[in-house]
Structure 1
Amino acid sequence: MERVSDSTLKRSRKPPGPGPMTTIADVARHAGVSVATVSHVMNHTRHVEPETAERVRAAITALRYSPNSVARSLRRGETKTIGLLLPDNSNPFFASVARQIEDAGFVSGYTVILCNSDGNAEKEERYLSVLMAKQIDGLIFAGSSDHARVFARLLPSMPAVLLDREIQSVNVDSVLVDHDHGGYLAGKHLAGLGHEKIGAIGGPRDSSSSPARLRGFARALEEAGLELPASSIVDSDYHFAGGRLAMEQLMAQAPGVTAVFACNDLMAMG
């Protein structure tokens, strides 16, 4: 391990960083131009003679000037940030969605602020308050519950889109998944493989997705002449450990089941 001594510290001098009070006015004085000219060079809002523009850029480099992003945001009325509130981005579905949103935002010049609520309503409200305080330009919300009251307060201040959720009492755009059809396809697949005694592990009862998936699943089994009795259904929590516990319960109360439909990937892996 290298030992650091006083003499080492004295020899290891780095160039001084930018002064905390360095402003655009300092750059203008250093370059011998107006503040407006510096602004035009930085934002490419008006033609500036090449020689003058180069002098401005040299002054920016010499002073190590960095624009105050907060001040610029206030002037422009935008922060170029988008809030993304998910229940759990360890879920493969939401992890994939988050990556696509981040990539799309980057291409358009936006930074995505990701928050995980863990399905906790209190945590969701706190994150929403934090995101609003940061003056994000928009919100993509995949909450664990309806939160009509929260959205009634939120929507007047920013654009919002619901992801895989729908709130009937609030006028907000939604991007929805056809959960019923997904469950139906799973039921058709398992019945087509020849299974006759099939079980199901559902998600939380207060979620909108789980009941829809189970309805579609049961419809597919009914079309195949099979039943899905209540004893063959166990509710869980959409998490890995919950899926394992639900499977143990299902095996105990519905022995002989040869195939199981889990309402999300994490429970299936559990």
Structure 2
Amino acid sequence: MSDDATWVPAGVDTDQPSVARMYDYFLGGGHNFAADRHLADKVLEVIPAKDIARINRSFLRRAVRYLINEAGIRQFLDLGSGIPTVGNVHEIAQHENPDCTIVYVDNDPVAVAHGELMLQQNANATTILADLRHPKTVLGHDETLRLIDFREPTAVLMCAALHFVRDEEGPADIVAAYRDALCPDSALVMSHATHDDYPEDLARAAELYKDTKNPVTARAREQIIEFFAGFDLMPPGVVLLPLWRPDFGEIADPRRSLCYGGVGIKTI
């Protein structure tokens, strides 16, 4: 891990903690800085954030493999993707089918810069600097349209992303805008922080995230289910992440995930 920021885009304040770089730290990555680690360590005193990140990444892997092998989807739009470290969508998807195309979307210039470096030799994957809260910008971006044909089934991934959208920013309307751009047989994959089991711990963690540009809004299971309006939820529905189609022998305490997840298919 190094704080050498010579490759970081100009104008990026590495003294301002970034949720993308904190997540990278939780996953054991090396593209984070002292400010990120300092705040991340405070979060770890409150919630098992490393476990949560690992469990979320495992859910992402299972969901992507399910969509490729059982739903026949080959196009992925990963919103709020963060830094594409080991085990991210392009590695999972292209291992299953090399023809899969992936567009990563993040509003952190460091995450995008690292993604561009990683994907230089990958013609079927790209990363763009954009904010998921502005669907028209994301959907109409030249790189998005280069790799994704919205006349064909596409998966929109919102893993550990929508809880960084505040209620007053209209998260349901944002999800609906992406849904309306999709053709039938497309999919929505979502994981989302919840305060259902540990409201005090989540409140303390959310308070810490106020020091970033992306404060956390944890939501109840019923609220998260509502985001899947217009999609048919695949069994077992919206559940704590380790309970969504676990691989054989995969063991994790469901309540320790502090996140619900689900996969929906658009049928109309």
TM-score (norm 1): 0.29
Q: Highest relative contact order (Cα 8 Å, sep 6+), 1 or 2?
A: 2
Larger Rg: 1
TM-score after normalising by structure 2: 0.29
